[in-house]
Amino acid sequence: MQELCVWPDGSFRTGRPLLNAVGLGCERNQRRLFNDVSFGLAAGDMLRIIGPNGSGKSSLLRLLCGLARPAEGHVELFGEALAGQPGALASRLLWIGHAPGVKALLTVEENLSWLAALHGRDAIVAVERAIVAVGLRGFEDTRCHALSAGQQRRVALARLYLPGAPMLWLLDEPFAALDRAGTAQLEAHLAMHCERGGTVVLTTHHELTRRTQAYAVLDLGQYAT
């Protein structure tokens, strides 16, 4: 029997929920940002989170990946409470924050080799392919502090091209600082990931031109206190 996933618009979809948000409330600096946010996402789903500045978009992503605790409600990942599986999160989801999150004094190749090694991957082959995929061939030995903001973003996004990446991707403003070609490439890659059974949750002010069939939008402005 298939389970029902509640989407932000109140509709239902069939499919086993991979990620569940149940009645989430969030506070920051003693101010309530949103209340009673609930949704379920299955394999192949893409959820875009929108809302005005300060509505809690980044905060919601941090709740979904376990970097912060909700004021109310809870998050479930693969049917289990997120709070009860901290040791497994690195292998179950991939989080890329608004900041590039790269080590400035390391080269492009060193940054990605370190990330690949954390997951026991064949670092040499995997990193070479990821660098090519994000258009940074020729910059392998460049220290990241010498890269442009857009190039640093590409280094961060190269994690999405490493083999064996988790199926759940949580991305905070992934299109920030990317040029038109980089934006188009990332849109295509996110859509392909969902078509292969992956799940994507992202915040972005960018209007997606390439969407998966299972696509929904969550407007946090509707949940403000």
Domains of the chain: 4-223 (3.40.50.300)
Q: What's CA 184's distance to the chain center, in Å?
A: 17
Q: Note the helical H segments in the chain.
A: 57-64, 89-92, 108-118, 123-133, 149-157, 180-195
DSSP structure class, residue 12 = E
Q: For position 4, what pLDDT does the model report?
A: 40
pTM (two decimals): 0.90
Q: Return the bridge partners of 19, or none.
A: 41, 77
Taking 70 as the pLDDT cut, the residues of the chain under it are 1-16, 118-122
Q: Quick one: CA dihedral 175, 177, 180, 186, positive or negative?
A: negative
Q: For position 12, what pLDDT does the model report?
A: 47
